[in-house]
Every structure is written in C-alpha cells, then in structure tokens.
A and B are shown apart, each in its own frame.
Chain A
C-alpha cells in the first residue's frame, strides 16, 4: 500500500530535550516536506526536500532541522524544543511537478506537546 508513515504519532516532551520525528514514504517520491498545523491557521511548511541531499527552508523553519540522506526518509529534528513548537506535524511526499501535476500524500500526523 502506498503510504507516508510518521513516528511517533504522539509525543510529550520537556523544553530543551532534543527529539526526532521520523518520516518514510514507499512511493519513490523525490519531493518531501514537513508542515505544522495550528488552530486557526492553515498548514505551514517548515522544510522541504527536492531530492536526496537537497533541502531548503519553508515558511517557518526556525527551531527545526532536517536531513535527506535516503530518498525514502526525511526526519524532522528539534534540537531544543520550546512550548511554541507544540503543534500537529505532517510529513508529505509527491513527485516533482513541472509540466505534470501530481497528488501530494500526507502522513497521519504527529501530535507534539512541549512543556
């Protein structure tokens, strides 16, 4: 089954304790990205990756890091989490566009609480 998986699904942590949220896709997609979703706001992009070893900042990158060492995996790293990073996080993947239009697939989400 074609899917994007994320782990963990739920995480409660304390301020300053480094954490990693994993994301993996089995569709051989070049493009992957991370979003956060907060009440009253649309999904906002944190980071994206056009392919292996190619990453770039989205709209709200402060406080986050990513890496893309393999095509299927795109982990999100919070080096020193703060309470304002409490949010619902989604990983997504798709083929790169251009002349074609491709569907974007989202993971199930990771609910992070930072106390």
Chain B
C-alpha cells in the first residue's frame, strides 16, 4: 500500500533557529518526492520536487534531501522566520501508467518570536 508518514506531527521553535522535518515514504513505482508548504486555510504551495537521482535540492532557506535506499526524505529550514509557520506536507508520486500522488498528513510548524 502506498503511504507517506511524517514526523513530528507538530513542532514549535524559536525564530532564527533551524529545524528538520522527516518523511518516510512507501510509494511504488516511485516517480518523485515533493514537499509543499500550506498556510492555514490556503492551498498547498510547492517547495521542491525530487526524482530518485537527486539527493539534495534547495529553495532559498529550504533544503530537501532524499535517500532512495531507505525511502526517507527530510526538509531542513534554516534561520526560521515567523512566516515559516505553516503545515509542511510530504507527497510521493507514483506512476503505473497513470501518475498519482500520496499525501502525508503534514507537520505543523510554529515559529515563536
């Protein structure tokens, strides 16, 4: 069964600190792994997309890693800002002739001043 599990469920950190969010995925046949940021009440916005040949990808202060052997991904946020407060969703895409997405339940990140 295709599934994506994220940890922790929620995280609170001080502004300016770094943090790392984790994602374990079981998605087959694997196509790519995505991270989205979702502000409360808004639609998800793409942060990164990684295929199996990419093990690191950055988008500003966001850096995602992918380990295809252990089927794990992480999202590292550097020098957090109040605007980083959001849910971060890990998504696995699989392709068996038709591309489908499997969504994690997200990590709720709160940045406090």
Interface residues of A (CB under 8 A from B): 4, 40-45, 90, 92, 96-97, 101, 103-109, 111
Contact = CB atoms under 8 A, between A and B. Distances in A.
18 contacts: A40-B105, A42-B103, A42-B105, A44-B103, A45-B100, A45-B101, A90-B44, A96-B99, A97-B31, A97-B95, A101-B31, A101-B51, A103-B49, A104-B34, A106-B43, A107-B43, A108-B42, A109-B41
Contacts of A96: 99
B interface, over-half SS: strand
Nearest to B34: A104
Contacts of A109: 41-43
Nearest to B41: A109
Contacts of B89: 42-43
Nearest to A44: B103
B101 A104 contact: yes
Majority SS at the chain A contact face: loop
Range of interface residues on B (Cβ < 8 Å): 20 to 34
B43 A108 contact: yes
B43 A90 contact: yes
Interface in B84-109: 89, 93, 95, 99-106
A45 B102 CA distance: 9
A42 B102 contact: yes
B101 A101 contact: no
